[in-house]
Amino acid sequence: MMQCCEKYNGDKIRLERARCGLSMSELAKAADIHLKTVERIEKGKTVPRVQTLGRIAKSLNRELEYFLA
């Protein structure tokens, strides 16, 4: 069973992505995930798996814990 990050903060992901100067598509490519997945995660419409959030965090040069509420 995959672990999920139910207490993640999509706004922090969006703000950090913007701070890094990345578009959603650039983040998706860097994290090796689909663009729609990035959109849903940032809007809080889906709960990311730990692995997915970890790839996003790495792409934004942050620790996974930074994005947890």
- Going along the chain from its start, the domains and CATH numbers come out as 10-63 (1.10.260.40)
Q: What is the pLDDT of residues 28-37, one digit of tens each?
A: 999 999 999 9
Reported pTM: 0.89
Average pLDDT on 21-42 reads 98
Question: Does the CA dihedral 24-64-7-49 come out positive or negative?
Answer: positive
Q: What is the mean pLDDT of the chain?
A: 92
Q: Is residue 22 pLDDT above 70, yes or no?
A: yes
Q: Containing H/E element for 61?
A: none
| pLDDT score of 55 | 97
Residue 69 pLDDT exceeds 50: yes
